[in-house]
Structures are given as C-alpha cells and as structure tokens.
Homo-oligomer: A and B are copies of this chain.
Amino acid sequence: MTGLARFSLNQQTVRQWSLPELATGCAAAGVRYVGLWRGPVQEYGAAAAGRLVRAHGLRVSSLCRGGFLTSPEPAARAAALADNRAAVEQAAELGAPVLVLVPGGLPPGSGDLPGARERVAEALAGLAPYAAGHGVRLAIEPLHPMYASDRSVVSTLRQALDLVERFPADQVGVVADSYHLWWDDTVPGQLARAGEGGRIAALQLADWVTPLPEGALLGRGQLGDGCVDLHRFFEQATAAGYRGPVEAEIFSTRLWAGDGAEVLAETLERYRRYVLARPEVAANPEIAHRVTEK
C-alpha cells in the first residue's frame, strides 16, 4: 500500500494486540512506525521490545508517556521525577527518539494553574538534560481543556510552546494531537511558530466525535468519523516543516472490540482518504458528529 512512509500506528489504537501481534500486523500491512506505551513495553522488556520491532523492519516513533509533574508534595514530586527518569531509560533501551510527557493536572485542593505549570517547567530543567544524555527528546503534549483539572494544566499549543521554548529545541519539543487542538483557531499560527523553532517532536491524529463517554477518555473518533479537518491539520504541520511520523492514536472502545488487523486496515484506508488526500466532506454521510441536544 502506498502513501504509508510516515504513518505510525500507536498501539493504543489496537489495544487488543500484544506487542508481537502489533509487530507482525504492522509489518504485514506495510506500516513502518509504531508508537508504544510504557505498560506493555515494560511487561515485554524494553530492550526485547526494541529488538522485536526492529526485526520486523519497524521503527518506534514515540514512547507514551511520562509526565504528571505538578505535585508540590516533596515525596510525590521525587517519585514523579524518578518515574520520569525511568521512562527516559526505557525509551533509550527501546530505541524511541521521543518520550511524550502529559504534564499533569491540578494537585488536590489547588486552583493554581500557573503554579502547576511552573512546577512542570522546574521538572523539565532537570529531566531535559537527563533525557538528552540518553539520546531521548522530551515532548510536552497539550491536552484538550476538558482535561485541565486532572491530566494536563497545559491546554493549548501556545501554552506548550511558551513552556518548551525555555529549553533547547533538541531537548524539548511538543506533541501536536488533532484531538486536543482541533477546536482552537490559534493553532495554525502556533504550528507555524512550532515549526520555525523546530519544536514539533510528534504529530498524533484522532477525530472528534460526540457524545463524549463518561470520563471523556475513551471516545475518540476513527479518522474521518468526526468533524476534524485532518488533512488541513496535517498540511499545516507539513507546511511548518514537520516531516516525521504521523501517529494514529485513537482511544476507542469501538476499535478495541474489533479484530486488530481489520482495525489497522480501516485506519490505513481512512489515513489515506482523510489525512493524505483532501476529503470531500459532503461525500461522507455517516459523519458522526451531531447535535445531541438543542
């Protein structure tokens, strides 16, 4: 299948697959990159996982995830920093060039977003050179504002860039994920800013569909099922100079209930139709976003 030179399958999209199934399935489909998660990698062994993917002709686009660096409590903070150093070591063992960091939410009882962001910056000051020493680049991922209290006090690409630009570009970049950023009209300008500074460390794609499920975590849309102009997002990142892997990362109970190979085939078909090509939106009557209540 052509057009897949930059496609990466994030393993959360096919959570039903083991690491060996992922490697075999991706190789069989002509995929060249995979995005991996710490849990399954740790279970398999990081070095062994690295060998496994390389043996199938694959490269790791990113390891998810470190972060959660907002606690002001000394013990929790020390534990978080140790965990992030372990994640860096795991990324290095695995051969992942990028470690994705989810900054973390507000500490219990706090409403101080700027203070929490500052603690992320303080943590990066130590972690960034540590990661660089291991050949790993950190990437701050701004998450949708609906996660601002419990997952990420960094909600916009602009906030993420304000944060990472305090560190060398080769040590700390950003993750641009369409699911988190699609609604924000400042993103085109901020993607250009990120590109100019060489700060786009990873690009991830999922579509936006409603209604959101309870907890708002596992309802991401398959590419083309929602309202995000994925082609435009991809083009903007490309115009900004990003030439790296493009990860499909879709947390979806619907996709997890299917056969892994079929989910991958569907994802690749959607990637070519909605990401690489300019889709004719009107030709997709099954588009899933809708007014759920007036």
Contact = CB atoms under 8 A, between A and B. Distances in A.
A293 B217 contact: yes
Number of copies: 2
How would you classify the secondary structure of chain A's contact residues: helix, strand, loop or mixed?
loop
Contacts of A291: 68, 105, 108, 150-151
Interface of A: 68, 105-106, 108-114, 144-146, 148-151, 155, 159, 182-185, 208-217, 226-229, 281-282, 284-285, 287, 289-294
Contact of A111 (B149, B151, B229, B293): B229
Contacts of A229: 111-112
Q: Which 8 A-B pairs have the closest CB atoms?
A: A148-B183, A111-B229, A146-B146, A214-B214, A145-B183, A211-B215, A149-B289, A212-B216
A294 B290 CA distance: 30
Contact of A292 (B109, B209, B213, B215): B215
Contacts of A208: 148-149
A146 B289 CA distance: 12
A227 B149 contact: yes
Contacts of A159: 185
A140 B113 CA distance: 26
